Amino acid sequence: MPPEVPYYRSFAAPPVKFSDPSSPEAYTILPIGRKYIRGKKTMKIPGRRVIPLLVFILSTISILRLLRLANNSSSAPPLPAFPPTLQHTCNSASPECTNIPSHVPGSQTTKFTTPANSTTLMKKEFKLLSDLIRSKAPCNLLIFGLEPQYLKLSSINSEGITVLLEDNPDRISATRAKSNNTRIYQVDYHLPAKKAFKLLKHARKSPACAPSSGRLQNSTCKLALTNLPQEVYKQKWDVVVVDGPSGHSPEAPGRMSTIYTASIIARAGNTTDVVVHDVDRTIEKWFSWEFLCDENLISSKGKLWNFRVTGKSNSTRFCTD
C-alpha cells in the first residue's frame, strides 16, 4: 500500500479522488497549483501559465482566420460597376423629383443613371424583333438608331419601307442599304441626357406635349423632334424601334425625345408597335412608362420592351391610369 500523503481541503476547489479497483495503486488529484501524486512520482501543474497560453493560441487562430477572409475577399471577382451618373441626385427637397411614377422600382431616392454605351441586341431580343417584323411584313418600319442587326430587319421587310435615323456620321458612311426601299438619314439630337428630369416635368405640365396638340412637325413641346425628314411625318408607321441616340453619358443626347416622338407617331396611325431597347436604363424606363404606358406593354425580352399603341390622336392623355 502506498504511503499516506497529507493534504488540506480548499474551499475554492475541493480535491477529487479517483480510484481504480483493478489497479494496485490509488491516487488523488489536488487542486491546480498543488502536487499531483501517483505512487512515488510527483509533478507540479503550472495552472497560472496555462490560461495565458490558451488565450495566445485562440488569439492567433482568430487573427489567421481574419487574414484568410481578407485574402479571399480581395481575390474574389469585382462586382459589376454602377453605370455613370447623370450628375443629378434625386432627393425629397428637389422639385424635379415630384410626381415620379410609383411603379418604377427604387425611383424615390435613387440617382438618375445610365449605363455604358452598349446597344447591341442579344439573341433573344433580336428574335422577338425579327419575329414581329415577319408577322407584319411587308410593313412600314421606322428605326431610331443604326446597328448592323437592323439591316437584317430591312432584309426581312424587303417588300416594305424601312427608314433608319442615325446621328453618328461615321456609322452612316460605313453602312450601305441592302434594298432600294431602305433609307438611312442623318439627324441631330440636341437634348443631353442630364436634362431628362426637367423635360419630364415640362411634358406633364405643358398642353403642347399632349397627344392632341396637333401636327408633330409644328409642335412647340420641348420633347418633339421637328427636324426629321418629311417622310417620317407623312408616313403611317407599323413598327417604330427606339435604339438611339446613344444616351451613354450625361452630356450625350438622351432618348427622351425619340421615345416621346415615337409615342406621338404611334397615336397618329391605326395600330403601331413601338419597341424600346435598353429599358434597364432609367431614362428609357421612365419615359416608356410615361408616354407608351404600362397598359400597352404586350411582350418583353431582356432589355427590350414591345408596346402596342392604338391611334388616339384626339386624346389629351397618354395613359388611362
**Cis peptide preceding 245, ω within 30 of 0:** yes
User: What is the pLDDT at residue 301?
Assistant: 96
Domain presence at residue 255:
yes
Q: How many domains does the chain have?
A: 1
Domain presence at residue 96:
no
User: What is the pLDDT at residue 200?
Assistant: 96
Domain presence at residue 14:
no
Domain presence at residue 300:
yes
In the predicted model, is pLDDT for residue 71 greater than 70? Answer: no
Domain presence at residue 219:
yes
Q: How far apart are CA 92 and CA 97, in angstroms?
A: 7
User: What is the pLDDT at residue 127?
Assistant: 96
Domain presence at residue 301:
yes
Contact 144, 171 (CB under 8 A): no
Model's pTM, two decimal places? 0.65
Torsion, Cα 291 294 297 301, to 10 degrees, reads: 100
**pLDDT by residue (tens digit) across 128-143?**
999 999 999 999 999 9
CA distances from 142 to 2, 219, 242, 256, 304 (A): 109, 20, 9, 17, 16
Angle ∠(157,158,160) on CA atoms, nearest 5: 65
Residue 185 in grid coordinates: 438619314
Q: What is the mean pLDDT of the chain?
A: 77
Domain presence at residue 77:
no
- Greatest distance between any 2 Cα atoms in the chain: 121
Residue 309 in grid coordinates: 399603341
Q: Which domain holds residue 242?
A: 123-310
Domain presence at residue 283:
yes
CATH number at residue 173: 3.40.50.150
Confidence of residue 83 (pLDDT cuts 50, 70, 90): very low
